[in-house]
Chain A
Amino acid sequence: QKEVEQDPGPLSVPEGAIVSLNCTYSNSAFQYFMWYRQYSRKGPELLMYTYSSGNKEDGRFTAQVDKSSKYISLFIRDSQPSDSATYLCAMSARRGSTLGRLYFGRGTQLTVWP
């Protein structure tokens, strides 16, 4: 079993829809949770960063972490065509050093059509 599981999609939604992206993980030591957005032919770009459980909101984006279920989500409200990209979840047991290596999901490809 991989450390981090993420449905690769593809996911296709109309403009204005609410998008839900999810990852599950197996390592209960993970405490740092991140979502990256990767446009085609570009490097990953950090979108959201959450420590431990709870919700974090930033504009149209909301990240949720449920450590009891080992499940994280990213919600995109009022989705736009410019949100079309691959979204990768990543997590880490601690910051820095060998123990702080990031484990990435495979990424979910999202297309928002006008």
Chain B
Amino acid sequence: DSGVTQTPKHLITATGQRVTLRCSPRSGDLSVYWYQQSLDQGLQFLIQYYNGEERAKGNILERFSAQQFPDLHSELNLSSLELGDSALYFCASSVGARDNTEAFFGQGTRLTVV
């Protein structure tokens, strides 16, 4: 168990809908990273938050947004969902802002858009 908790584990929703994925980092970790893993694209970095502030942005679509709350948990919001958004979404956390090479991953949320 990495200590990073993601909910829900599975999510099935229809095209055009909006969903929220939640991540609780390991105790003491200030950085949260979001990744998308699909069969055709592999693991892609979406966005990083550090202590409530956006730190780095990767291949995140405009329909997606994230935030990190004062208690350090993070949410990834996906809207106007398309079939191609079906993927595993992982959250990872690390102590510092520059520790992306030493982050711990959660078990992921499997999103299926039908």
Assess A101 versus B90: contact at CB under 8 Å? Given A43-B2, A43-B4, A44-B105: no
Identify whether the interface residues of B are mostly helix, strand, loop, or mixed.
mixed
A81 at interface by CB-CB < 8 Å: no
Assess A107 versus B42: contact at CB under 8 Å? Given A43-B105, A45-B105: yes
A95 at interface by CB-CB < 8 Å: yes
Assess A88 versus B43: contact at CB under 8 Å? Given A42-B107, A43-B2: yes
Interface size on A, residues (CB 8 A): 23
Complex CA distance for A45 and B104, rounded to whole angstroms = 7
Size bracket, chain B contacts? 20 to 34
Chain B, 58-97, contact with A by CB distance < 8 Å: what is the 0/1 string? 1000000000000000000000000000000010100011
Complex CA distance for A84 and B87, rounded to whole angstroms = 22
Which residues from B are CB-within-8-Å of A101?
A: 45, 56, 58, 100
Which residues from B are CB-within-8-Å of A45?
A: 2, 105
* A98–B102 touching, CB < 8 Å: no
Chain A, 37-57, contact with B by CB distance < 8 Å: what is the 0/1 string? 000011111100100000000
A92 at interface by CB-CB < 8 Å: yes
**Which residues does A use to contact B, with CB under 8 Å?**
32, 34, 41-46, 49, 88, 90, 92, 95-98, 100-102, 104-107
**Can you list 30 A-B contacts with CB-CB less than 8 angstroms, sorted by A residue number?**
A32-B101, A41-B107, A42-B107, A43-B90, A43-B105, A43-B106, A43-B108, A44-B90, A46-B103, A46-B104, A49-B101, A49-B102, A88-B42, A92-B100, A95-B100, A95-B101, A96-B96, A96-B97, A97-B55, A97-B98, A98-B56, A100-B100, A100-B101, A101-B58, A102-B45, A102-B101, A104-B43, A104-B44, A107-B42, A107-B43
